[in-house]
Amino acid sequence: MLYTVLLPAAGSGKRMGAGQNKLFLELRKIPILIHTLRAFEQDPKCHQIVLAVKKEEQAFIEELLVKHRISKVAAITEGGAERQHSVYACLKASPTNGIVLVHDAARPFIRQEVIHRLVQTAEEFGAAVAAVRAKDTVKKVENGIIQETVDRESLWIIQTPQAFRYDVLEKAERMAEKEGFLGTDEAMLVERQGEQVHIVESTYDNLKMTTQEDLLFGEVILTKREQEEQ
Ligand SMILES: Nc1ccn([C@@H]2O[C@H](COP(=O)(O)OP(=O)(O)OP(=O)(O)O)[C@@H](O)[C@H]2O)c(=O)n1
Ligand SMILES: C[C@](O)(CO)[C@H](O)COP(=O)(O)O
């Protein structure tokens, strides 16, 4: 089945400390935003892309879309104060009966085979998220004192894309807005509606460009990808 991808791109990139939207920073002379868009532009199963952007950045982003021949962007909507608000704005701009993927525009290295497994799982079960197993020990801490070590075998690091049947995500976003609930990902909103969310194993290089170090890792990932393609 074809899918629609919702790309929140209206953040400020505070943790990157670049003084601008981190999505405009370049890897191999291409903006991070374009790397991410290309992943979906080049996927035959992607029907359309919906972007949430800052109003004052829309004209610049539209120029980037033309320059880099990104043709699948069907709608550009205004993002909100929080990531969740930006995602909801994208959802409201793209009603469909099918599968929607929510993907951070700050994750440029998503692999097509992960996307397709997510879509298949969401088609079957209604909700699925990309994730990788935790590699480090995780502990709960209060006031600088370790309270509990969480069993690593049951720990997964959640990424995006997060894939849903449109009606499942729409109800979750609508109820969260009505109840003033703010989550850090869409799965949280769906879980609190009592829906089961499935895990689809992703790759460790599906990195979210968040801090300066990630730019270095990103260049290495691109070098590795180029070697894979040779
Ligand atoms: N109000 C917001 C906040 C974030 N995002 C988007 O959500 C994705 C993941 O958010 P994050 O990595 O936190 O980006 P920023 O919010 O820009 O980073 P920071 O928290 O460091 O400011 C990014 O593509 C970002 O552009 C958004 O559309 N609207
Ligand atoms: C949605 C997410 O990428 C899953 O790991 C993450 O929660 C986004 O966090 P951010 O602080 O909004 O980047």
What pLDDT sits at residue 224?
Answer: 94
Which atom of ligand 1 is nearest the CA belonging to 209?
Answer: 12
In whole angstroms, give the CA distance from residue 92 to residue 89: 5
CB of 104 closer than 6 angstroms to any ligand 2 atom: yes
| CA neighbor of 64 nearest in space, from 96, 28, 24 | 24
Confidence of residue 96 (pLDDT cuts 50, 70, 90): confident
The answer on pLDDT for 114 being more than 90 is yes
Write the residue with the smallest CA distance to atom 2 of ligand 1.
83
Q: Which residue type, as a one-letter code, is found at position 214?
A: D
CB of 12 closer than 6 angstroms to any ligand 1 atom: yes
CA 13 to chain CA centroid, nearest Å: 15
Cα atoms in the Cβ-side hemisphere of radius 13 Å centred on 52: 27
Ligand 2 centroid to residue 129 C-alpha, Å: 12
Task: List pLDDT tens digits, range 26-59.
Answer: 999 999 999 999 999 999 999 999 999 999 999 9
Task: List pLDDT tens digits, range 163-177.
Answer: 999 999 999 999 999
CB of 82 closer than 6 angstroms to any ligand 1 atom: yes
| CA neighbor of 108 nearest in space, from 28, 219, 207, 8 | 207
Q: Could you state, in order of their start, the residue ranges of all structural domains in the chain?
A: 3-224
**What average pLDDT is seen over the chain?**
97
Ligand nearest to the CA of 106: 1
Q: Report the DSSP pairing between strands 46-53 and 73-78.
A: parallel
Write the residue with the smallest CA distance to atom 18 of ligand 1.
13
What pLDDT sits at residue 229?
Answer: 85
Please give the CATH architecture assigned to the domain spanning 3-224.
Answer: Alpha-Beta Complex (3.90)
Task: List pLDDT tens digits, range 176-210.
Answer: 999 999 999 999 999 999 999 999 999 999 999 99
Structure tokens at 29: 């002379």
CB of 13 closer than 6 angstroms to any ligand 1 atom: yes
